[in-house]
């Protein structure tokens, strides 16, 4: 999330009750999570395991729960509860303020767009030329929809990220990180019925131009999908993945979180992807591997009874020696 | 389902036109299906294969389609069509009487709860303090939602059980059992968008305190989910399962019906679970087995080409002897 | 799609600016896609690979992008862009003309049907006796629903086919084929919550009498489902499949496009079906094979460590010879 205007280290330190270490004159332009952080952004970290990753990221500000060596030009904000500080900042700049109208007066909808009955459109939503939104669609706040986009019934765009702060020594283990990100649906995208596309935790979930999505597909928070992708029904893409251009996923494919899928990859139906995939190749299986390798694996599997017989025969022959 | 007040064996025998065997003075306090039956309950059975299971269950009353030996203190109600008797009793005490208002006047909603536009709330629904119900959610009758619960758009809570009386010698094979159960969502639960949580056939479907559920998740009828579970997107849990506390299921996991999943189990993405799972362990695959065992299986699979070559070489050497 | 009345070759050739080859006096009664085409229908083809299949199909008219030999009694309509011609014809006879009312005045709903709040019903929808449509259901245009049908909340019936004309040398690779088909839900069908059933591209998607469908199920365009089938939650059936009578699919099963599944087939949970399945058998796995064969495969897999040890032992013995 970008702030409406830059915020001083001083204001921040007072707002979250933190001690400044490093550059006390820096200005923060936004706040973000570690996978999508940019220069000028704030991140937070509360586990020593991730200190170095956060401090050496593009982030300019790091909210952290102890003193630490500060690289040149960076600012540490040291406080007891970095997670709570993150929540306070994001809720301050982008509070959950539910619009109780079916179509928020703050939404901006092109006059040629077709909004069918019973569509809910939240705050600060933009809908472009010739877009068609079918009945019973829900669009949460801060979603931008391009030109010639079609969204089918029952689909939910911009829901909260499934992203929690976890501590197993308290009564309620999971505390949700306040979602303050956005969704961007580019031109000529089509989205089927009863899909769910979550908005970024603090960055943006993006569906690239010309991508076509079938029914019941899940796109997690902060996923970046390239142009001209084709996702068949019941595909699920976990949070933080980056999908290239021209990627095809057949029905019921699942992609684990924060993976990179190269351009023009094809993933066969029902595959479960647990690793990055190289551009231009075809994959199958759970866990998914190269399609040709997977086929060879099946051939071998079919030979197993023969192998078993051969081994038993050799053993009995040997035994007779 | 519990009756509003206890019902006599006499009244029951007349209502469903059945003959009493055993204790004619017993009072029935409710009706239930075999997996969830309690003392005082009625169950029904119409296949000799299940006679003993039903008669030896906790049930006090058994509706049955022939005379049978009665254990002490139990009551048999003998009639031609036990299934139809079950339907008649459940429809009598909990008829389908659709509320045609968007929010039923019989619903009880805490004044601090946020009910966004286009939410349907059925009869006898209770919604607790600080709960947030996003647009286009549907809540069927007899659902109780705790404090600080959040339910995202498009989700359907309390739909009918997918539970049929099957006879393949008639025109329509499947006759639905009338669903008369309930749903209980405890405090601090979050449920994502476009999920479906069915109510119990005659007992309760329960989501334990602090459990977090992602988008497009299916929870079948009569499932009991413990506290602090985490279910990622597109997980499906079939009817009658009991899930412990602190269980994590990653994306697209499926659990077969009436299984027991122990506390703190983790099920890796895309696994299909066909057996009970032991507390504290991690599982993977379809059918899912212990994660370490599954990994060993993969290692062996990778060695297959080598094994194949070795066997062929040994065979040709042997052949040369 | 059938035309309201037959259309002459002459009118067609002028409307899409095509040259007639073959029978110039023929009348077209409808337009269809290749998997469902019937006598009297128009099909289109723009790739030499499919010329013969289309010309030798049941189609009477073939819109094609070059001159070709014409079988007796058939009519070729030769034009530069057959896909655009298809779009022009289908949009002319069945334009997308969104009804902006919650229940279209052109819908025909039996007086005994129960339509609960917030249901959207499009143009030319028919709903039969005693049908119950739960809240927040969306029914697109040209859907016919039989008697005693129950449709649960959030389900979307009649959405557009996921069917594209693909050319990778343009900016937007995928252009959607205009969907002009229909949906037919026969008597005694029950459909769970948040399902999606697409209408045919130009033919009909049909759910046979007495079939019961659980929550979150996807049925693609032009699928024909037989009578008395049972589909558990999260099943997905891709476009153009033909499913026999009495077929059972357990949770999360996926069926690839245009396959034939025989009568009384059972597919175990989480299977991925990539081939036709023979009547009466049980299948499991991804790709799904005969259940008994799959079980034997598992037994062999479990013996792999033993085989590995045996091979190593034989090798070391041989090495000692």
- Chain B nearest-CA distance from C287, in A, is 12
Q: What is the distance between the alpha carbons of residues A220 and A112, in angstroms, rounded to a whole number?
A: 30
State percent of chain C over pLDDT 90. 90
Q: Is residue C267 within 8 Å of C289, Cβ to Cβ? A: no
Q: What is the distance between the alpha carbons of residues B156 and C215, in angstroms, rounded to a whole number?
A: 10
**Residue of B102, B113, B115, B117 for testing the chain A interface, max A β-carbons within 10 Å:** B117
Quick one: average pLDDT of A119-138? 98
pLDDT (tens place) for every residue of chain B, 321 residues total: 999 999 999 999 999 999 999 999 999 999 998 888 999 999 999 999 999 999 999 999 999 999 999 999 999 999 999 999 999 999 999 999 999 999 999 999 999 999 999 999 999 999 999 999 999 999 999 999 999 999 999 999 999 999 999 999 999 999 999 999 999 999 999 999 999 999 999 999 999 999 999 999 999 999 999 999 999 999 999 999 999 999 999 999 999 999 999 999 999 999 999 999 999 999 999 999 999 999 999 999 988 888 888 888 887 776 544
Q: In the prediction, which pLDDT does A318 show?
A: 61
CATH top-level class of B2-93: alpha beta
Cβ-based contacts of C140 with chain A (< 8 Å) = 134, 153
Cβ-based contacts of B214 with chain A (< 8 Å) = 162, 218
The interface residues of chain B toward chain A in range 139-178, judged by CB-CB distance below 8 A, are 150, 152-154
User: Using the beta-carbon criterion (under 8 Å), do B192 and A136 form an inter-chain contact?
Assistant: no
In this predicted model, which residue has the larger pLDDT, B36 or C29?
C29
By DSSP bridging, strand C75-78 and strand C19-22 are antiparallel
Q: In the prediction, which pLDDT does C307 show?
A: 87
Tell me whether B290 touches chain C (CB under 8 Å): no
Cβ-based contacts of C195 with chain B (< 8 Å) = none
Tell me whether B298 touches chain C (CB under 8 Å): no
Query: Binning pLDDT at 50, 70 and 90, where does residue C318 land?
Result: low
User: Using the beta-carbon criterion (under 8 Å), do B152 and A159 form an inter-chain contact?
Assistant: yes
Q: Flag whether pLDDT at C267 surpasses 70.
A: yes
8-state DSSP, B35: G
The model carries a pTM of 0.96
Query: Binning pLDDT at 50, 70 and 90, where does residue C12 land?
Result: very high
User: Using the beta-carbon criterion (under 8 Å), do A134 and C138 form an inter-chain contact?
Assistant: yes
Residues of C annotated catalytic, as ranges? 221
Most confident of the following: A47-56, A213-222, B68-77: A213-222
Cβ-based contacts of C153 with chain B (< 8 Å) = 120, 138, 140, 156, 159
Q: What is the CATH number of domain B109-289?
A: 2.160.10.10
Q: What is the distance between the alpha carbons of residues C147 and C186, in angstroms, rounded to a whole number?
A: 7
- Chain B nearest-CA distance from C215, in A, is 7
User: Using the beta-carbon criterion (under 8 Å), do A135 and C136 form an inter-chain contact?
Assistant: no
Q: In the prediction, which pLDDT does C306 show?
A: 87
Q: Flag whether pLDDT at A239 surpasses 80.
A: yes
Query: Which two tokens mark B291?
Result: 């994660």
Q: Which residues are within 8 A (CB) of B180 and not within 5 positions of it... i.e. 6 or more apart? A: B1, B31, B90, B91, B93, B94, B201, B202
The interface residues of chain A toward chain C in range 205-244, judged by CB-CB distance below 8 A, are 209-210, 212, 214-216, 228, 230, 232-234
Q: What is the distance between the alpha carbons of residues A300 and C168, in angstroms, rounded to a whole number?
A: 36
Q: In the prediction, which pLDDT does B40 show?
A: 95
State percent of chain A over pLDDT 90. 90
Cβ-based contacts of A116 with chain C (< 8 Å) = 98, 100, 120
Q: What is the distance between the alpha carbons of residues C160 and C154, in angstroms, rounded to a whole number?
A: 17
User: Using the beta-carbon criterion (under 8 Å), do A164 and B228 form an inter-chain contact?
Assistant: no
CATH top-level class of A108-291: mainly beta
Q: What is the distance between the alpha carbons of residues C246 and A142, in angstroms, rounded to a whole number?
A: 47
Query: Binning pLDDT at 50, 70 and 90, where does residue C244 land?
Result: very high
- Comparing A289-298, A309-318, B273-282, C74-83, the range with the smallest average pLDDT is A309-318
| Closest residue in chain C to residue B172, using alpha carbons only | C210
Q: What is the distance between the alpha carbons of residues A47 and A37, in angstroms, rounded to a whole number?
A: 18
**How many Cβ pairs within 8 Å bridge chains A and C?**
144
User: Using the beta-carbon criterion (under 8 Å), do C216 and B238 form an inter-chain contact?
Assistant: no
Cβ-based contacts of B153 with chain A (< 8 Å) = 120, 138, 140, 156, 159
Q: In the prediction, which pLDDT does B320 show?
A: 47
- Chain C nearest-CA distance from B187, in A, is 24
Q: In the prediction, which pLDDT does B321 show?
A: 45
User: Using the beta-carbon criterion (under 8 Å), do C162 and A232 form an inter-chain contact?
Assistant: yes
Q: In the prediction, which pLDDT does C203 show?
A: 92
Q: In the prediction, which pLDDT does B122 show?
A: 98
Q: What is the distance between the alpha carbons of residues A81 and C175, in angstroms, rounded to a whole number?
A: 51
Q: In the prediction, which pLDDT does A260 show?
A: 98
Closest by Cβ to C270, choosing from B156, B168, B272: B272
Closest by Cβ to C118, choosing from B118, B272, B296: B118
| Closest residue in chain B to residue C308, using alpha carbons only | B307
Domain ranges, ordered by start, for chain B: 2-93, 109-289
Cβ-based contacts of C274 with chain A (< 8 Å) = 269
Cβ-based contacts of B173 with chain C (< 8 Å) = 210, 228, 246
Average pLDDT, chain C: 95
Q: In the prediction, which pLDDT does B318 show?
A: 61
| Closest residue in chain A to residue B252, using alpha carbons only | A254
Q: Flag whether pLDDT at C213 surpasses 70.
A: yes
- Which element (helix H / strand E) includes A176? strand A174-176
- Chain B nearest-CA distance from A172, in A, is 5
**Residue of B135, B258, B259, B286 for testing the chain C interface, max C β-carbons within 10 Å:** B286
User: Using the beta-carbon criterion (under 8 Å), do A308 and C307 form an inter-chain contact?
Assistant: yes
Helix, strand, or coil (residue B271): coil
* DSSP secondary structure letters along B102-146: SB-TT-EE-TT-EE-TT-EE-TT-EE-TT-EE-TT-EE-SSEEE-
- Chain B nearest-CA distance from C138, in A, is 12
Q: In the prediction, which pLDDT does C321 show?
A: 45
User: Using the beta-carbon criterion (under 8 Å), do B232 and A238 form an inter-chain contact?
Assistant: yes
In this predicted model, which residue has the larger pLDDT, C98 or C316?
C98
Q: What is the distance between the alpha carbons of residues B19 and B16, in angstroms, rounded to a whole number?
A: 9
Q: What is the distance between the alpha carbons of residues A113 and B109, in angstroms, rounded to a whole number?
A: 36
Quick one: average pLDDT of C164-173? 95
Q: Which residues are within 8 A (CB) of A265 and not within 5 positions of it... i.e. 6 or more apart? A: A244, A247, A248, A277, A278, A279, A280, A281, A282, A283
Same CATH fold assignment for domains A2-93 and A108-291: no
Query: Binning pLDDT at 50, 70 and 90, where does residue C34 land?
Result: confident
Quick one: average pLDDT of C133-141? 98
Tell me whether A52 touches chain B (CB under 8 Å): no
The interface residues of chain C toward chain A in range 59-88, judged by CB-CB distance below 8 A, are none
User: Using the beta-carbon criterion (under 8 Å), do C238 and A233 form an inter-chain contact?
Assistant: yes
- Chain A nearest-CA distance from B214, in A, is 6
Q: Is residue C187 within 8 Å of C207, Cβ to Cβ? A: no
């Amino acid at each position: 999330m970008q702030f409406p205007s830059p915020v001083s280290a001083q204001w921040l330190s007072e707002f979250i009750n933190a001690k400044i270490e490093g550059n006390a004159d820096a200005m923060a332009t936004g706040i973000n999570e570690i996978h999508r952080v940019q220069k000028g952004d704030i991140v937070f970290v509360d586990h020593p395991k991730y200190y170095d990753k956060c401090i050496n990221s593009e982030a300019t500000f790091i909210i952290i729960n102890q003193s630490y060596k500060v690289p040149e030009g960076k600012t540490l904000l040291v406080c007891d509860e970095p997670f709570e500080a993150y929540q306070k900042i994001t809720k301050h700049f982008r509070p959950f303020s539910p619009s109780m109208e079916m179509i928020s007066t703050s939404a901006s909808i092109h006059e040629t767009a077709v909004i069918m009955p019973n569509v809910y459109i939240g705050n600060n939503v933009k809908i472009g030329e010739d877009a068609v939104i079918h009945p019973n669609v829900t669009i949460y706040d801060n979603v931008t929809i391009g030109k010639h986009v079609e969204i089918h019934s029952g689909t939910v765009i911009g829901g909260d990220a499934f992203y929690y702060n976890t501590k197993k020594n308290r009564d309620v283990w999971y505390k949700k990180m306040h979602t303050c990100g956005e969704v961007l649906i580019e031109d000529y995208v089509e989205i089927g019925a009863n899909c769910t596309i979550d908005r970024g935790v603090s960055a943006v979930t993006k569906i690239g131009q010309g991508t076509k999505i079938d029914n019941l597909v899940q796109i997690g928070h902060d996923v970046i999908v390239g142009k001209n992708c084709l996702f068949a029904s019941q595909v699920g893409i976990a949070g933080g993945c980056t999908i290239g251009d021209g990627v095809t996923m057949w029905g019921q494919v699942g992609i684990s979180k924060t993976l990179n899928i190269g351009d023009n990859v094809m993933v066969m139906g029902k595959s479960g992807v647990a690793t990055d995939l190289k551009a231009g190749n075809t994959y199958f299986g759970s866990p998914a591997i190269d399609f040709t390798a997977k086929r060879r694996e099946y051939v071998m599997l079919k030979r197993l009874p023969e192998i078993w017989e051969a081994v038993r025969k050799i053993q009995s022959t040997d035994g007779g020696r």
